[in-house]
Amino acid sequence: MRVRTLSFAGSTFTSRQEYLDYLDGCLASREKCDLLVFPALLSLLLAWRFGELGSPGDLAEAVRALVRLPAAWQDDLAETHRALARGLSVHLVPGTSFTVEGDRVFQEACLISPEGEILGSQRQVFLSREERQWELSRGEEVPVFATELGMLGIIVGTDAWYPETGRVLALQGAEVVCHCGALPAGENCWCQLAGMWAQVQQNQFFCVESQLAAVIAGREFAAESLIHAPCEMTAGYTGIVAGGGLSGEPLEAHLDREARLGVIRQYPLLKLLDPAAYSPLGCRGGGGNP
Amino acid sequence: MKVRERLLLRYLDWRTRRALLDRHLRGQKISPSGNCQTIDRRRVRVGAAQLEVRLFSDPREYIDEMCRFTALAAAQGVQLLVFPEYNSLQLLRLIAGITALTEEMVKGEGVSPVKPADLFRFAGPGFGRVAELTFSFLSRAHGIYIMAGSFPLPAGRQVLNRALLYGPDGRLIGCQDKAHLTPLEDDWGLSRGGSFAVFPTPLGRLAMPVCMDATYFGTFRILESLGAEIVMVPIANPEPYNFWLALRGVWPRVQESQVFGVKSALVGSLFGRTLTGKAGVFAPLELTQRRDGVLAETESAEREGFVAATLDLEALRELKANHPYLRDENPALARKYFPAVYGQASR
């Protein structure tokens, strides 16, 4: 299975057509891949670049302005990405958007099939302090999607640091997890290892981690995109199949499903769980104070 | 029990008799350290031993070894000292014919193959007596907390891998049975524990899951929800050392659940297996100078060593209260998924 991410580093598009041209330039001439993952906050980046948000003073104002855009704007963007998936014949996770349901706002990412169908979506289920200030709501579903690539799951934003998300996906059979991330620029190496790297190692799935590299409303996001696998099937046992993306080039890798199954046969981590000891986990979920 | 086994057991009882051990312990010249006389939650001094496994033919040599490490730690102001997993394997040579027996076990040969659990069931009471007397004495003599490591101990028909914690008065504060067994331990016939405990002490709220327990986030989540501040993990990893493989245990659990972690390792060669690991003290990224989550770690993964570090429990509390992206809760999610997915896993 060939997987690819795009961080949007160095991109300068300011209109929908320029965005399509940018994607065409980045992706069209490359070897076909099976799964393409974009980073978190992509709809916010696009709306900001296209001048749809006015002149927000900061990221919070930008998010509020995005949420106020007519539903048709989000629908048009979704249609753009469905067409992209069809055109490239690829499973696509087109980053995250903010969706409104009644008086609640969620950050979510969807999975689009190579035929352009939306197979489902994943809402962020744990919120950062800042996201709580933005008055986002938490999703309550963590589905897995049966595809011809295997069982896929999605982890949105800071859910990467909540191991409950990966464990629920893994115990439902997830083989590949797509992570849409957006980390503030800075030294993120250890922080990322504590996130999806740790989730991969304790659940033995693959992860395609796409990190945003762009500025939105004065906030700079920059972190390496990473493609993870269980340590035992990577060179030097690093658990990282490929890393990069900050140059603007797509990051890609080949994932060997059989090799992963071999690792699990050798060391079946999830079969060694002790559910009898987990009853205190039953009703909390997350790392808050008891 | 066959006559031969009875004789062996009596011999082991005699080799580990209380009077002999007491006399040897009383002969140690130890002055109380005073390290726990004043406790400041902003400056809790912890230490982790990295023991190189040596087989002793006399339990007094084992006592001397533990005395040496404890004296080293106490001299560095340590208030809480942590020893490794399987911290009684050094006593195996007290069992007559152990080399031939382990070779038989490794090869799976013999008319009636003996499982290690049988061996521990047989030797556990004697080995346990050595550990109990040694660490109760050392914690009292130095006036510090000691997590003595873990020991394969018989409990009814089961053999459990049990960690023991002693207070500065020499009393046993509590124990913790390993809940997640490795495939090797499963083959050995060990049984798993079924719950996790936190021990409140003037030094802080302590917990001590054992080795493989730290592979699973649930262990630390439960312990942290019970109030754990310092989680001690004794390990004995029978695999060549690799930075990345070693990173999969305590370090990510500390980051996920926002506690301090203290890891003690048993290293060296034993009956054809090589144990590796680095003793270390770990903290949330934000509480470490290099923001790498490591306060102290030994240099070598193969030779003996010792590390100590100072923990600020108030800084931990402040971080948890203000963390920018951790500490959120989603009870609805847990209620919806955990019973079903973990139920499925148990089947």
For the domain that residue A247 is a member of, what is the CATH number? 3.60.110.10
Would an 8 Å CB–CB cutoff place A275 in contact with chain B? yes
Question: Which pLDDT belongs to residue B105?
Answer: 61
Closest Cα in chain A, distance from residue B221 (Å): 7
Would an 8 Å CB–CB cutoff place B317 in contact with chain A? no
Look at A269 and B215 and tell me if their CB atoms are within 8 Å.
yes
* Per-residue pLDDT tens over the stretch B57-112: 999 999 999 999 999 999 999 999 999 999 999 999 888 777 666 666 666 555 55
Please tell me the total count of domains within chain A. Answer: 1
pLDDT tens for chain A, residues 1 to 290 = 999 999 999 999 999 999 999 999 999 889 999 999 999 999 999 999 999 999 999 999 999 999 999 999 999 999 999 999 999 999 999 999 999 999 999 999 999 999 999 999 999 999 999 999 999 999 999 999 999 999 999 999 999 999 999 999 999 999 999 999 999 999 889 999 999 999 999 999 999 999 999 999 999 999 999 999 999 999 999 999 999 999 999 999 999 999 999 999 999 999 998 888 888 776 566 766 43
Look at A138 and B330 and tell me if their CB atoms are within 8 Å.
yes
Count CB neighbours of A103 within 10 A. 7
Closest Cα in chain B, distance from residue A268 (Å): 9
- Closest by Cβ to A287, choosing from B219, B258, B344: B258
pTM, whole model, 2 decimals? 0.95
- Closest by Cβ to A231, choosing from B181, B245, B342: B245
Residue ranges of the domains in chain B?
3-346
* Per-residue pLDDT tens over the stretch B9-24: 888 889 999 999 999 9
Question: Which pLDDT belongs to residue B65?
Answer: 97
Look at A287 and B256 and tell me if their CB atoms are within 8 Å.
yes
Q: Which residues contact B340 (CB under 8 A, 6 or more apart)?
A: none
B236 touches B278 (CB < 8 A): no
Residues 232-271 of B with CB under 8 A from A: 242, 244-245, 247-248, 251-252, 255-258
CA distance B203 to B78: 11
Question: Which pLDDT belongs to residue B304?
Answer: 97
Would an 8 Å CB–CB cutoff place B108 in contact with chain A? no
Would an 8 Å CB–CB cutoff place A99 in contact with chain B? no
Question: Which pLDDT belongs to residue B9?
Answer: 82
Look at A138 and B248 and tell me if their CB atoms are within 8 Å.
no
The answer to the question of residue A193 being in a domain is yes
Give the residue among A219, A215, A225, A227 at the shortest CA–CA distance from A246. A225
- CATH classification of B3-346 is 3.40.50.720, yes or no? no
Q: Best interface-test mutation with B: which of A274, A281, A283, A284 has the largest number of B CBs within 10 A?
A: A274
Look at A288 and B222 and tell me if their CB atoms are within 8 Å.
no
Would an 8 Å CB–CB cutoff place A286 in contact with chain B? yes
Look at B325 and A128 and tell me if their CB atoms are within 8 Å.
yes
- Closest by Cβ to B222, choosing from A158, A268, A281: A281
Question: Which pLDDT belongs to residue A289?
Answer: 45
Closest Cα in chain B, distance from residue A148 (Å): 23
User: To 5 degrees, how large is the angle CA B150–CA B181–CA B218?
Assistant: 95
Provide the 3-class DSSP secondary structure of residue B92: helix
Would an 8 Å CB–CB cutoff place B228 in contact with chain A? no
Q: Is the pLDDT of residue B342 over 60?
A: yes
Q: Which amino acid is at A219?
A: R
Question: What's the order of all strands across the beta sheet hosting A150-156?
Answer: A145-147, A150-156, A176-181, A206-211, A225-228, A240-244
Would an 8 Å CB–CB cutoff place B187 in contact with chain A? no
The gap between the terminal CA atoms of chain A, to the nearest Å, is 42
Mean pLDDT lowest for which of A106-120, B154-168, B228-242, B326-340? Answer: B326-340
- Closest by Cβ to A284, choosing from B248, B320, B331: B331
B292 touches B247 (CB < 8 A): no
- Closest by Cβ to A194, choosing from B221, B244, B252: B252
Would an 8 Å CB–CB cutoff place B286 in contact with chain A? no
ipTM of the complex: 0.94
Burial of A187 (0-12, 13-18, 19+ CB in 10 A): exposed
How many Cα atoms are found within 13 Å in the side-chain-facing hemisphere of B113? 12
Question: Which pLDDT belongs to residue A25?
Answer: 94
The answer to the question of residue A115 being in a domain is yes
Look at B320 and A130 and tell me if their CB atoms are within 8 Å.
no
How many Cα atoms are found within 13 Å in the side-chain-facing hemisphere of B145? 28
Q: Is the pLDDT of residue B261 over 60?
A: yes
Look at B328 and A236 and tell me if their CB atoms are within 8 Å.
no
- Closest by Cβ to B255, choosing from A194, A275, A277: A194
Would an 8 Å CB–CB cutoff place A219 in contact with chain B? no
Structure tokens at A34: 């099976």
Question: Which pLDDT belongs to residue A238?
Answer: 98
Closest Cα in chain A, distance from residue B326 (Å): 7
Domain residue limits at A105 = 2-270
Which residue in chain B has the smallest CA separation from A193? B252
Structure tokens at B32: 């109380």
Enumerate the residues of chain B whose CB falls inside 8 A of the CB of residue A238.
244
Q: What percent of chain B has pLDDT above 70?
A: 94
Look at B285 and A201 and tell me if their CB atoms are within 8 Å.
no
The answer to the question of residue A261 being in a domain is yes
Question: Which pLDDT belongs to residue A290?
Answer: 36
The answer to the question of residue A233 being in a domain is yes
Question: Which pLDDT belongs to residue B122?
Answer: 86
The answer to the question of residue A247 being in a domain is yes
Enumerate the residues of chain B whose CB falls inside 8 A of the CB of residue A201.
248, 252
pLDDT averaged over chain B?
93
pLDDT confidence band for B5 (50 / 70 / 90): confident
